[in-house]
Amino acid sequence: MQSKHLLHFRRRREGKTNYKKRLNLLMSGTPRMVVRRTNRKITVQIVESNHGNDKTVAAVDSSFLAGSGWKNSMSSIPSAYLTGLMLAKIAKSKKIDKAILDIGLLTPTKGAKVFAALKGAVDGGLDIPHSDSSIPSDERISGAHIDSYMKTTVGKDFEEFKKKILEGKISIDAPKPKPSKKKEVKTKSIDAPKPKPSKKKEVKAKTK
């Protein structure tokens, strides 16, 4: 009797690609705005596909904010919006005006960070089909909700960085922040040469 077990493609088994969703996106023939998030940063890309082969046309992640003086979280809703806004500026410079959202295997949740990045890209001039009901509120996008209970200046920093991006005063090539002293010490201790074993002097036995 033959087994009825269905063996999926490797990337589907590893939880990396939903091939049914991917096929639907590719059938549109429109560049994809790919949004991915980790615990530390947000990454957004404009990807074009030709005969199933992906080509990244524009890409940026939220670490560029730190290189430009951003001292707040790089994985928050405000940083996701600013990253999407920066991507739109890059895409427009390469004559890309429209895209469709690709969130991979992420579950679409109202007010999620991926939709904050989408809002940033739309405000930057990209035409991306979406529902306004999924977009976070203006208070959450600006970080005002963080200021209200943590007494920070996220809202002020957000408005400053948004203005700079729109005016073209921030580049993704900004220098990355230097590692902390703790990390430097750890690196030096790892790379430090190991001491050579000392040679014990051979003691010759005295003969009578």
For the segment 165-184, what is each residue's pLDDT rounded down to a tens digit?
A: 999 888 776 555 555 555 55
- Max Cα separation, the chain? 101
Q: What domains sit in the chain, N to C, each tagged with a CATH number?
A: 10-191 (3.30.420.100)
More confident residue, 200 or 125: 125
DSSP 61-116: ETHHHHHTT--S-SSSHHHHHHHHHHHHHHHHHTT--B-EEE-TT----TT-HHHH
8 Å CB contact between 78 and 152: no
Tokens of 95: 């004559």
Q: How far is residue 60 CA from its own chain's centroid?
A: 7
pLDDT tens-digit readout, 29-72: 788 899 999 999 999 999 988 776 888 899 999 999 988 889 99
Task: State the pLDDT confidence band at 20, using cuts at 50, 70 and 90.
Answer: low
Q: Is the pLDDT of residue 28 over 90?
A: no
Q: Is the pLDDT of residue 118 over 60?
A: yes
8 Å CB contact between 101 and 118: yes
Sign of torsion, CA 102 103 107 108? negative
